[in-house]
Amino acid sequence: MAEKDKMELGDKEFEIRQGKLVFIPKGTVHSVKATSKELLKVLSIQATNFDGKDRVAVE
């Protein structure tokens, strides 16, 4: 895993590292960006059933 990558959450951007926990409120636009050529792994856990219908790709 890369030492650090970037997370966008709403209008904020910050570094994430291995072991970092990020809470994403429902309806908040968010994304993760790999900043190196190392493998980026993300574990996503939803509190309710996730059907993917509200997933929207952002650039």
Establish if 40 belongs to a structural domain. yes
CB 41 within 8 A of CB 18: no
Give the model's pLDDT for residue 48. Answer: 76
Residue 59 domain flag: no
pLDDT at 23: 93
In which band, very low, low, confident or very high, does the pLDDT at 27 lie, cut at 50, 70 and 90?
confident
The pLDDT score that the predictor gives to residue 11 is 94
Structural domains counted in the chain: 1
Asked if residue 53 is part of any domain, the answer here is no
In a domain? residue 56 = no
Specify if 55 maps to a domain: no
Residue 18 included in any domain: yes
Owning domain of residue 16 = 1-48
Distances (CA, A) of 53 to 49, 56, 57: 11, 8, 12
Task: Report the alpha-carbon distance of residue 54 to residue 40 in Å, rounded.
Answer: 24
